[in-house]
Amino acid sequence: CWRSTVVALLRCVRSINVENRKRAIVTGAAGFIGGHLLERLISLGWDVAGVDDMSAGHPELLPNPVRSLIGTADFASANVLNAVGHVDVVFHLAAVPRVSYSVEHPLETHRTNYDKTIALIDSIRLAHRRPRIVMASSSSVYGDGVPLPTAEESACLFAQLSPYAMQKLQCEMALRMYWQLYGVDSVALRFFNVFGPRQLGSSPYAQAIAAWLTAYHEGRNLRSDGDGEQQRDMCYVSNVVDACIAAALAPDKLCAKALNVGCGQRVSNNAILAFLGERLGSLTVERAPVRPGDVRITHADISAARSVIGYVPTVDIWDGIARTMAWYADHYACGGVG
């Protein structure tokens, strides 16, 4: 429960003065990216506490001690907001991140993605000792029709195609205001399409690679939206974790900058399906209509992230897909729980 996590966190905080270890809270820690981040932070010797309300989290997929360091709580609950002054970094990954879900539920997603994020940022403003915020933003803030590869300054007001995209841009704007008005240090990392092990694909809102590998292992047809020629900058999850940690450790203030975190290359859904088909045998692909709010092409210009935080992706899409396929094979060999 969260209380025991706070106790553990405070115990860590007391020992830190001696050990001089970095301390962090990860929100959304039982989620796909949050679980990978928490696991890496632990392996690097950080003192960490994760928080997740389990609305979409899958702690059962995480090994211990990762799982045991996640408390079940809303990230905007008082216990969590009161704990932020004890850490060096808050990695804010919790969200309702599904574009098409936000199209169907604009108000509900606004409350979690924006209102609660403001509560978190404001508690950091009020903390006796302010941590840096590393916030998960999204390439969806760009919408369609931007220059490719897309640099950060291409984000325009009113270009967002979904409530989710708008909410992420609003959070970035809030970070900027809290930096300018109050000096709260932060960075918004605009993740492009992230994929990898432990990303589950059974929900109708799932990302393409997870949805296809799930469908394959469950003996169902693979659904491909539109003509399949939409192109995405697909980024393997370990690259995103690298970027989060580089942002947390950057020595200079990050001044609420927004930075792209992708691979810097784009591939079409059809090319990924062909790659999967070569390795898995013939696949039955079923065409479906394009989902409202989906951006057709994403391609990150990652030069700013390289120069500001030293981010360089080390796992390319094809290697990443191979690793993801291996995880799915093991997962389903063990019964596919989750």
Could you give the string, one character per residue 104-123, with x where binding to ligand NAD holds by CB under 6 A and - elsewhere? --------x---x-------
Q: Which of 14, 15, 55, 12 is nearest to 31 (CA)?
A: 55
- 172 contacts ligand NAD (rule: CB under 6 A): no
Give the number of other CB atoms < 10 A from CB of residue 144: 11
Residues 6 or more apart in contact with residue 320 via CB below 8 angstroms? 195, 196, 234, 235, 236, 237, 238
Of 29-37, 82-90, 269-277, 323-331: span binding ligand NAD (CB under 6 A)? 29-37
To the query of whether residue 236 is one of the catalytic residues in this protein, the response is no
H or E segment at 11? helix 2-19
Catalytic residue among 101, 114, 164, 311: 164
- 88 contacts ligand NAD (rule: CB under 6 A): no
Cis peptide before 65 (omega within 30 of 0): yes
Nearer to ligand NAD, 16 or 214 (CB): 214
Residue pair 259/337 in contact (Cβ under 8 Å)? The answer is no
Nearer to ligand NAD, 32 or 114 (CB): 32
Q: In whole angstroms, give the CA distance from residue 123 to residue 95.
A: 18
Q: Which tokens is 259 given?
A: 């930075």
Could you give the string, one character per residue 204-243, with x where binding to ligand NAD holds by CB under 6 A and - elsewhere? ---x------------------------------------
Binder to ligand NAD among 23, 25, 26, 34 (CB under 6 A)? 34
Interface positions with ligand NAD (CB under 6 A): 27-28, 30-34, 51-57, 74-75, 93-97, 112, 116, 136, 138, 191, 193-194, 207
Residues forming the active site: 164
